[in-house]
Structure 1
Amino acid sequence: MSANVSQLNKIISESNNIVFFTGAGVSVASGIPDFRSMGGLFDEISKDGYEPEYLLSINHLEDNPQNFVNFYRKRLLLADKQPNNVHYYIEKLERQGKSSGVITQNIDGLHHDAGSRNIDELHGSLAKFYCTECTRTYSKNEIISDDIGFCRCGGVVRPDIVLYGEMLNEQTVFSAISKFQEADTLVVLGSSLVVNPAAYLTTHFKGRHFVIINKDATPYDDNATLVINEDMTHVISELEKLEEI
């Protein structure tokens, strides 16, 4: 049992209002590749000449709706992925009243699948789709099972995520800022804290303990109470063992 995990256990036990901030690393632990290593994405770029940001942009949707639909159906609809112990640990602390919820950069919806209810999805979620013309909504299951890409009205059915070239949802941002401002502890999990404006929102945290658990260094490490550069699923497993003692 590392000293870092023991210190984390002490911080968690002393905290009354924890907010979690999660990034791509939490999804990677469930087998979902991050955007820059999606498994074949760069082959697609070299073949078609597209930059990765363009493929998930509002410009792509408007320029070539069919190609946009083909891309997200091929690359984003990962129906076989499940929450991991990090997702379930976050849900547990929310259920116990120790946490005010989770703010996430991820679009996979796994926090919801794990049972979390107080979730601010800064970049939206693949759990919901909607028509760009009539705004009719569709679930992810409908999109997959019924092979839907276009609405009955003829409009493009797009995922309810923030595409490149779009602004974050204002209400979601305000909710996240409120959580950061009211929390006594912030725990960052699996985020490099370099994607703005999402990462910058963490600067609204003024509480006592700022914990970063990420395999690599982040620009905010010098501001943190505790930095753990280890596999987060292992850290959470060790933490839960300590809690059982």
Structure 2
Amino acid sequence: MSANQIFYLKQIIEDSSYTVAISGSRMLEECGIYSLKSQDLAFKLESKYGFSPERMFTNIYFTNRTSQFYEFFREEILSVPSLPGPSAYALAAMERAGRLQSIITGNIYDLEQKAGCKNVIHLHGTLNYFICPHCKQKYTREEILNTKGVPHCRSCGTTIRPELLFFGEMIDSHLMTRSTREIEKADVLLLLETTIDSELYANYIKYFSGSKLVIIHEEENRLDYRADLVILDRPMNVLPALGYQ
């Protein structure tokens, strides 16, 4: 990251009337959280539980091995400290300054909203709430953490499930439409720790027809050349340097 890159990025954002950020899974790492699909964590969890996280974090595993699912889910996901990092606070400052209109993310830890962001689209849901599939009563994360074993609805006794998407489940069509419309409106699209060919975001990014595409990530990607500005650094080092308060 150079001073010239920061100056150019600030100019791009200041000239934009509508800026949208996409927050990739590696944004979690600055907060000490790792994606279940990361190789090191996947190996560790499979060694511990006998199944890969990609198998355990599914509706089939939740339905057929509910007790084992909640043991894994509480220990490895729900109990993980999830405090916002520098990037999330910098995004919130940009939003307060009127320089960021929305954030799209598949991360479930709700870091941006915890930092103060208001307009966040959570494609995969969050850990904030759990729901009874039968009577639709909701429960908070804290309520589930304070239970042992499999949590059941106090009203009807049905097993409660997290109000988020498991691997392999379809994203809600309303969220897909909302995300697409946000990107269509954007003058500037910021890709933070993700890529143009991202498995999750590629189908949304293709709708961008604004003036400037900016990519901020550590590792170079084969499609980076399509961007107007690429900064090969971590967003936590770049975004706070913009100076928004």
Normalised by the length of structure 2, the TM-score is 0.89
The code of the aligned residue for 2:199 comes to N
- Percent identical among aligned pairs is 28
Secondary structure of 1:211's match? Answer: strand
Query: What residue ranges of structure 1 are gaps of 5+ in the alignment?
Result: none
In 2, Cα distance between equivalents of 1:78 and 1:7: 40
* Aligned match of 1:150: 152
Q: Alpha-carbon deviation of 1:193?
A: 5.0
Q: Alpha-carbon deviation of 1:43?
A: 3.1
- Contact 2:218–2:233 at 8 Å: present in 1 too? yes
* Aligned match of 2:5: 4
Is the alpha carbon distance of 1:206 and 1:172 closer, same or farther for their aligned partners in structure 2, counting shifts above 3 Å? same
- Greater alpha carbon shift after TM alignment, 63-72 vs 175-184: 63-72
Tell me which of 206, 209, 216 is aligned to 1:206: 209
Q: Alpha-carbon deviation of 1:171?
A: 0.9
In 2, Cα distance between equivalents of 1:154 and 1:100: 41
In 1, Cα distance between equivalents of 2:240 and 2:93: 13
In 1, Cα distance between equivalents of 2:95 and 2:215: 19
In 2, Cα distance between equivalents of 1:227 and 1:237: 17
Instruction: Give CA deviations for 1:201-235 in whole Å, capped at 9, x if unaligned.
Output: 11111100100111112354122111111121111
Question: 1:112-131 maps to which residues of 2 (within 5 A)?
Answer: 112-131=113-132
1:170 aligns with 2:170: no
Secondary structure of 1:3's match? Answer: helix
In 2, Cα distance between equivalents of 1:237 and 1:119: 19
Aligned residues: 242
1:159 aligns with 2:169: no
Q: Alpha-carbon deviation of 1:47?
A: 4.9
Is the alpha carbon distance of 1:220 and 1:150 closer, same or farther for their aligned partners in structure 2, counting shifts above 3 Å? farther
- Contact 2:45–2:53 at 8 Å: present in 1 too? no
In 2, Cα distance between equivalents of 1:81 and 1:217: 27
- Greater alpha carbon shift after TM alignment, 23-32 vs 48-57: 48-57
Query: What residue ranges of structure 2 are gaps of 5+ in the alignment?
Result: none
In 1, Cα distance between equivalents of 2:147 and 2:126: 19
Instruction: Give CA deviations for 1:144-172 in whole Å, capped at 9, x if unaligned.
Output: 23446332333222221111121001111
Secondary structure of 1:36's match? Answer: coil
**CA RMSD in angstroms, aligned pairs only:** 2.2
In 1, Cα distance between equivalents of 2:6 and 2:64: 49
Normalised by the length of structure 1, the TM-score is 0.89
